[in-house]
Amino acid sequence: MFQVTNKKSITILALLLFLCAACQPQGDVSGVKAPDASSPKVVEPANSSYSPTYASVSANGYGAIASVNPLATQAGLLAYEQGGNAIDAAIATALTLGVVDSHNSGIGGGCFILIRWADGSVSAIDGREMAPAKAHPQLFIRDGKAQPQLSKVGALASGIPGSLKAYEALVARGGKLTLADALQAGIRHADQGFPVDRVFASRLKVTAEKLQKFPASAGIFLKPDGAPYQEGELLVQKDLASTYRKIAAEGSAYFYGGDFAKAVEGWMADNGGIISAEDFANYRLTERQPVKSEYRGYTVYGFPPPSSGGAHVAQILNILAHFDLAAVSEVERYHLLAEAMKLAFADRAYWLGDPDYTKVPKGLVSAEYAADLAATISNQRATPVAGHGTPPLSDSDFFEQLNKHTTHIAAADKDGNWVAITTTLNTSFGSKVVIPSTGVLLNNQMDDFSIKAGEPNAFNLIGAEANKVEAGKRPLSSMSPTLVLKGDVPVLTLGAAGGPTIINQVVQALVNTLDMGMPLDQAVAAPRVHHQWMPNRLIVEGSLSEPTQQALQGMGHEVKVWGNFGATQAIGVDGDDFKAVAEPRVQ
């Protein structure tokens, strides 16, 4: 459990940045002392060999950063040193990740941002990709059959990116520096190159054949002989550096209304795509009402639809609240987790989608509905789940936008401001398409739609009518930036990478912390399980003891062992200190 002190008398800057992708990124977290008034505006970059695994830092005049790459973390540290606040650190980190961890994220993708303001309010900013205006439900159907490869790779796989517009809005309203400042570290690493790390090299190895299909992509990520870059070799991205410089000079107008949008339109027209420059011009940010729930005396905030994360983290926790997880055996605890996950993912498949197009019932997160679902769970046996449930008021009470227009975002370096960003291209290297002469890798978020009812996507998730392809719609996501408060004091923020396992990673970290009383690093490191209803199997990590695995099998679970999965990052508090924890599985 957390020891909480009232922090209203001190300045706190807290930032947690997550990468969401099929792969598992490396982890890096740091703390940095906030600058005093005499700090110089220009500071030399931090030593590139600096790569801490986690830090416990004083809250008095300090901030905390958690990211998946040490070079990106250093960009956030530098923003603090230059006089910036948590917003500046967040965006500098994100934009640098788009260079040094570009297989996971970048300005060709989207993001969710969850913010807890100093006044105690919480906002959810939706920078998720939008489907092009020419998208339609039959886009990936040929002769009545789904063609899933079209939604994963190539010209039809991408939605309109939203990350850059969200980043610019954050800096403009709440930052002390500028978007141009935030781009500088990324420009430097793209222009001068950076050593490819182990995870980047492994992702290149398995994706090289698909990247080879697109000359601009192969020209960046593969050597002249077609071989992928190896760990430790220098990867240079001159075109991306040039694009970053143009954005620094012109702002996001270059991207959404200028030459970049025109370049995308031209490439799409030549390669069977449907994205136009007008699609970029019409992209909008949306502010939504966060999902709020209570668990074990804590308030948990999550991201609302089109994220399934907030709703189903809350739903699973609401179900688990009916069981004393600290009092049962390890076997029974994992069993109850699996049963709650299974019920939530069955609902996800049927009910969840973009609330601007689909009526997503708020009853999914109601305590009444959770009690009904909990009553179906046996403590001794796995219970078959035939399909979705029906939450209360499912025909009348829905998630919706907070407003109907583009939103701006505010943040300030005052007491209690916490920022959590989750950003992604979807699967490794997104659509595998780099727009020539720009260096920008486009997402493959169209695969997060249900391209045909019952057809699994890249993560074996199935969907229904609620998540069908439609023009201007945002696809369903599992990204789960999460904030936890005790009373009115923030005590924990966390999120994860790993497709649909994200939801269950977050749940297990919360259970390990709030139920089991584990220190945050142990809560993140503990063995994980994952069930997503379909396919009907319980994924367990190899670190889960063999007797526990066998006992779960004996309870009727179809157990499948994976080595490790996921990448969770978290920042918590311990008295007046922050503790930032990076995923140990990918160190």
Kindly list the distances between the CA atom of residue 364 and the CA atoms of 349, 351, 442, 544, in Å, as whole numbers in the listed order: 13, 9, 33, 31
H helix or E strand, kind and range, residue 374: helix 367-374
Residues 150-153: contacts with CB under 8 Å, at least 24 apart: 151/444, 151/446, 151/447, 151/449, 151/451, 151/457, 152/427, 152/431, 152/444, 152/447, 152/458, 153/210, 153/213, 153/431, 153/432, 153/444
Q: What angle do CA 73, 75, 77 make, to 5 degrees?
A: 70
- Say which residue the tokens 């006992």 belong to: 551
Cβ(544)–Cβ(529) below 8 Å: yes
Per-residue HEC secondary structure of 105-154 comes to: CCCCCEEEEEEECCCCCEEEEEECCECCCCCCCCCCEECCEECHHHHCCC
What is the Cα–Cα distance from 204 to 344, expressed in whole angstroms?
34
Active site residue 406: yes
What is the Cα–Cα distance from 475 to 461, expressed in whole angstroms?
13
Q: What angle do CA 119, 122, 123 make, to 5 degrees?
A: 125
Residue 499 assigned as binding residue = yes
In the set 376, 383, 390, 406, the catalytic residue is 406
**Local structure of residue 434 (DSSP, 8 states):** B
Residues near 22 by beta carbon (within 8 Å), at least 6 away in sequence: 426, 427, 428, 458, 459, 498, 499
Residues near 527 by beta carbon (within 8 Å), at least 6 away in sequence: 540, 541, 543, 544, 545
Residue 424 assigned as binding residue = yes
What is the Cα–Cα distance from 58 to 578, expressed in whole angstroms?
6
Structure tokens that stand for 530 in this block:
């994952």
Alpha helices of 213-281 — where are they, by DSSP H? Answer: 215-221, 238-250, 253-257, 259-270, 277-281
The helix-helix angle for 179-192 and 70-81 (nearest 10°) equals 140
What is the Cα–Cα distance from 446 to 451, expressed in whole angstroms?
8
* Torsion-angle region of 299 (φ positive above 0: left; ψ -120 to 50: alpha; else: beta): beta
Residue 381 assigned as binding residue = no
> What radius of gyration do the chain's Cα atoms show?
22
- As annotated, the binding site for L-glutamate includes 128, 424-426, 448, 477-478, 499
- As annotated, the binding site includes 128, 424-426, 448, 477-478, 499
Active site amino acids: 406
